[in-house]
């Protein structure tokens, strides 16, 4: 294992030198910073220390404010807080902000402080190793580390969106994302950032509807100590956090008019002033905005600035609702089932044909977010009957609100949904198959008995048909290279051969 790198952040030069000497004697590489600002500048330029030893009390940006900033610039950083004494309130706040440990500064004659510090560093390194391993495993199963669903699409409704992402990603032009709540506007923004030259720098999201106006201004631009009652220390705003990166102003339609003027100033002049300060702060940030509001109607009503609208709407991307993108539903189902099975340590779930048809025909007023939450419940509860009952209740309530008769639940009829194209599906995720009922070499559908059809048996046979279709598709994709097919399907080579035999798949056509 390579030597661990430690960053020491302390304004006391003598103590920092003592700590460097101590830790280098223990085999660590060290780098000292005399302020939180100096550390943050290094992180933004690409420094990635394994553990950060952070002093609590420093002039200017104190330890807790620096910790808040670290969480945005380098979320995976392991931070050990150092203090001259044990202050319960500070300890609680440090832990809440994600500090790995909190220790009293070493320097006592009996060396107890040095032992405690070394133990804290070892624990932080073990935690870093575990975090790295979890991230690797998530990558193997196709999970986005930020928790968002992957940005893929195979349908006509999303093709203009994907084309626009390709066209705008490599420049700094402002983008306005529009669409219903839950359609994935933030996912599109993250994808644009991921493909841009700024991808190594922060992506910062600000929900403009989550805070009252007086707090939102401080959240965006920061404040100086004493700027208002309760401002006990200097605070960095989200625009500074996002320096050289991208900021997404989510729910921009909820922003108060007075604050809209300040955002316009940032867009025009690339600078702003913190609350309580007379000094301008220059920023190099790409600005994107998202909304589900009718901004044109708001402009006519005088609640949204026309000049800000045209500054933001240089490029406008409309993200269609999920009911217009039904071909994506199978992929999203598979992704969320894998994600939550791993997250909650539950066995994988494969929906029955009845549940599949309900999911495909439901209107999804809450869009992808509603689908995600429903799949989470399915994984946690492990009972699809509860999900079917929930869909039935939602349909009935929606019909009652529209003044229509409640729709009858779909019968377990054969599904004939075309398999989505794999154009945007990551190689590590198998597109969720929703096939017609199996035939040919696959097992025949069990005939109804005197008591009717056994739904579980029907689902088992349908699953075999789905497996056959997925294997056949993968084999064709990799030109019948079985080893690559096995890797793509995330099974062993032996398991693939057994599955091919079960499904009646032998050799490539014409072989």
- Which has the higher per-residue pLDDT, 398 or 402? 398
Which of 134-148, 169-183, 225-239, 379-393 has the least mean pLDDT?
134-148
Residues 500, 118: Cα–Cα separation, whole Å: 54
φ, ψ of residue 202 in degrees (nearest 5): -65, 145
Which pLDDT belongs to residue 112? Answer: 66
φ, ψ of residue 152 in degrees (nearest 5): -135, 165
Q: What is the mean pLDDT of the chain?
A: 80
Which pLDDT belongs to residue 422? Answer: 32
pLDDT in tens, 465-495: 777 877 887 787 777 888 878 777 777 777 7
Pull the structure tokens for residue 147: 């928790």
* E strand intervals along 397-508: none
Which pLDDT belongs to residue 119? Answer: 87
pLDDT in tens, 45-79: 888 899 999 999 898 888 999 998 888 778 778 99
Which pLDDT belongs to residue 85? Answer: 74
- Domains for the chain: give ranges and CATH numbers: 5-139 (3.40.50.2300), 166-319 (3.40.50.300), 322-430 (1.10.8.60), 435-511 (1.10.10.60)
Is residue 180 predicted with pLDDT exceeding 90? yes
Which pLDDT belongs to residue 206? Answer: 93
Q: Work out the percent of the chain whose per-residue pLDDT is above 70.
A: 79
Considering Cα of 18, then 19, then 25, then 29, what sign does the dihedral take?
Answer: negative
- Read off the pLDDT of each residue in 196-208 and give the average, rounded to a whole number: 92
Is residue 229 predicted with pLDDT exceeding 90? no
- Read off the pLDDT of each residue in 340-366 and give the average, rounded to a whole number: 88
pLDDT in tens, 250-282: 999 999 998 999 999 999 999 998 887 888 889
Q: Quick one: DSSP state of residue 510? A: T
Which pLDDT belongs to residue 408? Answer: 54
Tell the residue number behind the tokens 């931070």, with chain if given: 79
Which pLDDT belongs to residue 353? Answer: 87
* Closest C-alpha among 81, 73, 83 to residue 121: 81
φ, ψ of residue 338 in degrees (nearest 5): -65, -45
Is residue 286 predicted with pLDDT exceeding 90? yes
Residues contacting 496, CB < 8 A, separation 6+: 471, 482, 485, 486, 489
- Which has the higher per-residue pLDDT, 429 or 34? 34
Is residue 434 predicted with pLDDT exceeding 60? no
Which pLDDT belongs to residue 471? Answer: 85
Is residue 438 predicted with pLDDT exceeding 50? no
Which pLDDT belongs to residue 205? Answer: 93
Rounded to 5 degrees, what angle do the CA atoms 39, 42, 45 make?
A: 155
Residues 332, 17: Cα–Cα separation, whole Å: 53
- Read off the pLDDT of each residue in 24-37 and give the average, rounded to a whole number: 92
Backbone region of residue 169 per phi and psi (left: phi > 0; alpha: psi in -120 to 50; beta: other values): alpha
């Amino acid at each position: 294992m390579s030597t661990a790198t430690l960053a020491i952040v302390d304004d006391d030069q003598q103590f920092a030198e003592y700590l460097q000497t101590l830790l280098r004697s223990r085999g660590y590489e060290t780098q000292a910073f005399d302020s939180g600002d100096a550390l943050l500048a290094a992180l933004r330029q690409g420094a990635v220390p394994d553990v950060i030893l952070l002093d609590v009390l420093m002039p200017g940006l104190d330890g807790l404010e620096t910790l808040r900033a670290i969480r945005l610039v380098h979320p995976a950083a392991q931070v050990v807080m150092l203090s001259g004494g044990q202050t319960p309130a500070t300890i609680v706040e440090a832990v809440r902000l994600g500090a790995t440990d909190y220790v009293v500064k070493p320097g006592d004659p009996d060396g107890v402080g040095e032992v405690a510090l070394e133990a804290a560093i070892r624990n932080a390194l073990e935690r870093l190793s575990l975090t790295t391993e979890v991230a690797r495993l998530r990558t193997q199963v196709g999970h986005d580390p930020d928790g968002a669903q992957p940005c893929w699409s195979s349908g006509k409704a999303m093709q203009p969106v994907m084309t626009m992402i390709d066209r705008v990603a490599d420049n700094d032009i402002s983008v306005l994302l529009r669409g219903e709540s839950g359609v994935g506007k933030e996912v599109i923004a993250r994808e644009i950032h991921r493909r841009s030259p700024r991808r190594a720098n922060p992506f910062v999201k600000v929900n403009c509807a989550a805070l009252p106006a007086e707090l939102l201004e401080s959240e965006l631009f920061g404040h100086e100590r004493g700027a208002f009652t309760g401002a006990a220390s200097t605070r960095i705003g989200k625009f500074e956090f996002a320096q050289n990166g991208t900021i997404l102003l989510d729910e921009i339609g909820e922003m108060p008019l007075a604050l809209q003027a300040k955002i316009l100033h940032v867009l025009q002049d690339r600078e702003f002033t913190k609350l309580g300060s007379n000094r301008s702060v220059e920023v190099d940030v790409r600005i994107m905005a998202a909304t589900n509001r009718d901004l044109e109607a708001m402009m006519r009503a005088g609640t949204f600035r026309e000049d800000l609208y045209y500054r933001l709407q240089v490029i406008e991307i409309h993200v269609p609702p999920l009911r217009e993108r039904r071909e994506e539903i199978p992929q999203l189902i598979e992704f969320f089932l894998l994600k939550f099975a791993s997250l909650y340590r539950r066995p994988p779930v494969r929906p029955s044909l009845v549940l599949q048809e309900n999911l495909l025909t439901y209107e999804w007023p809450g869009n992808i977010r509603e689908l995600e939450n429903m799949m989470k419940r399915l994984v946690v509860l492990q009972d699809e009957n509860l999900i079917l009952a929930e869909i039935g209740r939602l349909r009935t309530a929606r019909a009652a609100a529209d003044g229509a008769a409640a729709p009858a639940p779909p019968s377990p009829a054969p599904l004939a949904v075309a398999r989505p194209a794999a154009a945007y599906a990551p190689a590590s995720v198998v597109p969720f198959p929703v096939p017609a009922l199996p035939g040919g070499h696959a097992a025949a559908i069990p005939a109804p008995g005197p008591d009717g059809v056994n739904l579980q048996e029907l689902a088992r046979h349908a699953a075999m048909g789905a497996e056959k279709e997925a294997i056949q598709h993968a084999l064709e994709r990799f030109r019948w290279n079985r080893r690559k097919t096995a890797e793509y399907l995330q099974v062993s080579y032996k398991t693939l051969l057994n599955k091919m035999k079960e499904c009646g798949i032998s050799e490539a056509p014409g072989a």
